[in-house]
């Protein structure tokens, strides 16, 4: 079966960069996957005011609607042009969502695909969290930069947790196509069960992968930064990590390492909750 990748293209309040389109196409091409893009047409809820105001609400709503439409057209044209140049088949479909519910709708759409491809920019943080914690599928998150689509080496942030194990399962498609794996464990705040880690290393090795195990002690520094540094040093093309978070009322309370990954990301990362 071909993997089915999903690319949400957001048009409001900010728009996606060209990087995410290029990265999604490259990743899909190298992985032999089908790419489907969902392009947002935002709907701004009408608010009735009991008293006259100096703000022309109807004009603001109209302008936002037109801006979203113009951006959607530009992103669609960019995607189709790059796909045609690369001789790739891409499916493009619009979707509508009210402004406060865009993340919720993208999370729902993501359930129909194997992976969603997202871009880490400040305004996309809430949307990424919605996809990770409500979508039920893994997401590949790119920094706002050009990244290679070929994945030969995968680094796995391993702490022995069920969340990390689910992330490894979510990354199975990429693991089947890569040649080597680096298991990276940080031991500052958590005792790593070396027996389980070694069993995982053996399992991956029996699958035909070259496996290296690295243990880090970061002395209070950022674990996420240290893991990314090792992954870069080992020439990893993709980092795999579990997304840890608690229940939310208004927003997610993220685990420390997860929060750090979603604040300062230097390489593509596959995350799963």
Angstrom distance (rounded) from CA 15 to CA 73: 12
Give the model confidence (pLDDT) of 93-105 as tens digits: 999 999 889 999 9
> Across residues 61-66, what is the average pLDDT?
87
Q: Looking at residue 102, what is its pLDDT?
A: 95
DSSP collapsed to 3 states, 250-261:
CCCCECHHHHHH
The pLDDT, as a whole number, for residue 83 is 96
Cα dist from 43 to 22, 40, 80, 217, whole Å: 27, 9, 24, 48
- What is residue 245's predicted lDDT score, i.e. its pLDDT? 56
Percent of the chain with pLDDT over 70: 91
The reported pLDDT for the residue numbered 54 is 61
Segment 243-249 mean pLDDT: 55
Pairing of strands 90-98, 34-43: parallel
How far is residue 187 from each of residues 76, 143, 181, 219, measured CA to CA in Å? 45, 26, 19, 10
For 187-233, what is each residue's pLDDT tens digit? 877 789 999 999 999 999 999 999 999 999 888 778 899 999 999 99
Give the separation between CA 208 and CA 224, rounded to whole angstroms: 28
Q: Per residue in 40-59, pLDDT tens?
A: 999 887 666 555 566 677 88
pLDDT digits (tens, 9 = 90+) for 196-207: 999 999 999 999
> Chain-wide mean pLDDT for the chain?
90
Report residue 171's pLDDT band, with 50, 70 and 90 as the boundaries: very high
Q: Which residues contact 223 (CB under 8 A, 6 or more apart)?
A: 186, 188, 189, 216, 256, 257, 260
Q: Can you tell me whether residue 243 is helix, strand or coil? A: coil
Residue 12 and residue 64 in contact, taking contact as beta carbons nearer than 8 Å: yes
Task: Look at 145-154, 165-174, 252-261 and tell me which has the smallest mean pLDDT.
Answer: 252-261
Range scoring the smallest mean pLDDT among 16-20, 185-189, 250-254: 250-254
pLDDT value at residue 249: 38
Give just the sign of the alpha carbon dihedral 32, 40, 84, 237. Answer: negative
- Phi/psi zone of residue 160: left (φ > 0), alpha (ψ -120 to 50 degrees), beta? left
Tell me what pLDDT residue 137 has: 95
């Amino acid at each position: 079966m071909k993997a089915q990748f999903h690319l949400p293209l957001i048009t409001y309040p900010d728009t996606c960069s060209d990087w995410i389109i290029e990265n999604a196409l490259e990743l899909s091409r190298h992985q032999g996957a089908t790419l489907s893009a969902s392009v947002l047409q935002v709907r701004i809820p009408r608010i009735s005011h009991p008293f006259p105001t100096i703000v022309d609400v109807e004009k603001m709503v109209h302008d936002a609607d037109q801006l979203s439409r113009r951006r959607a057209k530009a992103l669609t044209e960019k995607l189709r042009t790059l796909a045609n140049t690369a001789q790739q088949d891409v499916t493009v479909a619009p979707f509508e969502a009210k402004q406060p519910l865009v993340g919720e709708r993208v999370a729902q759409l993501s359930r129909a695909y194997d992976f969603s491809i997202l871009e880490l920019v400040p305004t996309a943080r809430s949307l990424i969290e919605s996809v990770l914690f409500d979508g039920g599928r893994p997401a590949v998150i790119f920094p706002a930069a050009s990244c290679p689509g070929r994945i030969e080496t995968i680094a796995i942030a391993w702490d022995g947790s069920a969340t990390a194990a689910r992330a490894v399962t979510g990354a199975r498609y990429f693991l089947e196509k890569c040649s080597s794996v680096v298991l990276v464990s940080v031991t500052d705040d958590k005792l790593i069960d070396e027996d389980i880690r070694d069993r995982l290393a053996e399992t991956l090795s029996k699958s035909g992968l070259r496996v290296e195990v690295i243990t880090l002690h970061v002395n209070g520094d950022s674990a996420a930064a240290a893991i990314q540094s090792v992954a870069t040093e080992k020439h990893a093309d993709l980092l795999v990590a579990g997304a840890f978070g608690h229940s939310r009322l208004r927003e997610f309370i993220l685990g420390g390492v997860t929060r750090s990954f979603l604040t300062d990301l230097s390489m593509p990362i596959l995350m799963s909750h």
